[in-house]
Amino acid sequence: MNKIEIKFRNKAAIDRGTYLLFTKEVSLEFIKECHHEKTQILGIDGFFLRDKGIQPSLEHSVDFSELELEEAYQRSLEFLNQQPEELFFEVVCSED
């Protein structure tokens, strides 16, 4: 877990130990903190909360691992702003 994840752990809507899921609003804050700390955003994974647990949504997930820092930041904001409010997100970022 990197320093941003540690900082945001208490804001997680769902803490699965190995990964944190955030609301859309907190995910946007997380991404802004990544940008501030110059931490590379590698991707965003969307999840639905269902009666039977958490369901990943490939339709609401994206990979930015091949993008430069600034482009990944901008595309992350654009992507999240287009997503439904009821989803939860894991923001995958570099470890540094």
Please, what are the domains in the chain?
3-82 (3.30.190.30)
% of the chain exceeding 70 in pLDDT = 99
Show the beta-strand stretches assigned E in 1-96: 14-15, 20-21, 41-50, 53-63, 88-93
User: Cβ neighbours of residue 86 under 8 Å, at least 6 residues apart?
Assistant: 48, 49
| pLDDT value of position 18 | 83
User: Is the model's pLDDT at 96 over the cut of 80?
Assistant: no
- Whole-number Å distance between alpha carbons of 62 and 64: 7
Q: What is the pLDDT of residues 61-72, one digit of tens each?
A: 999 999 999 999
